[in-house]
Amino acid sequence: MAGAPRHLALLPDLRAERLEWPVPFADGVPRLLAHRGRAVVMLASGDPFWFGAGTSVTRHLARGEWTALPGPSTFGLAAARLGWALEATPCLGLHAAPLSRLRPHLGPGARALVLLRDGAAVGALAAYLDALGFGDSTLHILEALGGPRERVRTQRATDPVPEDIAHPVAAGIDVAGPGPALPLVPGRADARFAHDGQITKAPIRALTLAALAPRPGELLWDIGAGSGSVAIEWLLAHPSLRAIAVEASPERATRARANAEALGADRLQVIEGRAPAALATLPPADAVFVGGGLSAALMDSLWPALRPGARLVANAVTLESEALLLQWHARAGGSLLRADLGRAAPLGSRTGWDVARPIVQWSVTR
Measure the N-to-C terminal CA separation of the chain; round to a whole number of Å: 54
- Residues of the chain with pLDDT > 90, as a percent, come to 76
What is the structure's pLDDT at 292? Answer: 83
Smallest Cα–Cα separation from 282: which of 220, 331, 325, 240?
A: 220
Residues 54 and 106 in one domain: no
Residues 167 and 115 in one domain: yes
More confident residue, 3 or 106: 106
Counted domains in the chain: 3
The yes-or-no verdict on residue 5 having pLDDT over 90 is no
For the stretch 270-292, pLDDT in tens is 999 999 999 999 999 999 999 88
| Domain end among 43, 65, 87 | 65
For the stretch 11-62, pLDDT in tens is 888 888 888 888 888 888 898 888 888 888 888 888 888 888 888 889 999 8
The yes-or-no verdict on residue 78 having pLDDT over 90 is yes
What is the structure's pLDDT at 358? Answer: 92
Kindly report whether the global pTM for this prediction surpasses the value 0.75. yes
What is the structure's pLDDT at 40? Answer: 87
* C-alpha dihedral, 314 to 319 to 324 to 326, nearest 10°: 80
The yes-or-no verdict on residue 295 having pLDDT over 90 is yes
For the stretch 306-344, pLDDT in tens is 999 999 999 999 999 999 999 999 999 999 999 999 899
Do the domain assignments include residue 179? no
The yes-or-no verdict on residue 3 having pLDDT over 90 is no
Do the domain assignments include residue 185? no
Query: Measured between alpha carbons, how far is 56 from 53 in angstroms, rounded to an integer?
Result: 5
Do the domain assignments include residue 256? yes
Do the domain assignments include residue 349? yes
The lowest-confidence range among 63-67, 280-284, 347-351 is 63-67
Smallest Cα–Cα separation from 155: which of 180, 132, 135, 181?
A: 135
More confident residue, 1 or 330: 330
Residues 349 and 211 in one domain: yes
- Bridge pairing between strands 111-116 and 151-156: unpaired
What is the structure's pLDDT at 340? Answer: 92
> Mean pLDDT for the chain?
93
Backbone CA torsion sign across 60, 62, 65, 68: positive
| Domain end among 118, 142, 174 | 174
What is the structure's pLDDT at 205? Answer: 96
Query: Measured between alpha carbons, how far is 246 from 273 in angstroms, rounded to an integer?
Result: 6
What is the structure's pLDDT at 351? Answer: 95
**Beta bridge mates, 93:** 115
Q: What is the arithmetic mean of pLDDT over 124-137?
A: 98
What is the structure's pLDDT at 198? Answer: 86
- Residues of the chain with pLDDT > 70, as a percent, come to 100
Residues 87 and 45 in one domain: no
Do the domain assignments include residue 184? no
Residues 339 and 214 in one domain: yes
Residues 32 and 137 in one domain: no
Q: pLDDT band at 299, cuts 50/70/90?
A: very high
Residues 196 and 336 in one domain: yes
What is the structure's pLDDT at 318? Answer: 93
> Is omega for the bond preceding 24 within 30 degrees of 0, making it cis?
yes
Query: Measured between alpha carbons, how far is 248 from 196 in angstroms, rounded to an integer?
Result: 14
**Beta bridge mates, 338:** 360
Residues 220 and 360 in one domain: yes
| Domain end among 119, 150, 174 | 174
Do the domain assignments include residue 154? yes
Domain holding 278: CATH number? 3.40.50.150
| 85 Cβ contact partners less than 8 Å away, ≥ 6 residues apart | 79
Q: What is the arithmetic mean of pLDDT over 223-250?
A: 96
Residues 198 and 108 in one domain: no
Query: Measured between alpha carbons, how far is 316 from 293 in angstroms, rounded to an integer?
Result: 10
Which domain, by its residues, includes 207? Answer: 190-365
Residues 200 and 307 in one domain: yes
The yes-or-no verdict on residue 109 having pLDDT over 90 is yes
What is the structure's pLDDT at 2? Answer: 84
Do the domain assignments include residue 307? yes
What is the structure's pLDDT at 236? Answer: 97
Q: What is the arithmetic mean of pLDDT over 184-198?
A: 94
Residues 317 and 349 in one domain: yes
Domain holding 79: CATH number? 3.30.950.10
More confident residue, 142 or 44: 142
Query: Measured between alpha carbons, how far is 329 from 333 in angstroms, rounded to an integer?
Result: 5
Residues 139 and 234 in one domain: no
Do the domain assignments include residue 313? yes
The yes-or-no verdict on residue 176 having pLDDT over 90 is yes
The yes-or-no verdict on residue 10 having pLDDT over 90 is no
What is the structure's pLDDT at 111? Answer: 98
Query: Measured between alpha carbons, how far is 290 from 181 in angstroms, rounded to an integer?
Result: 29
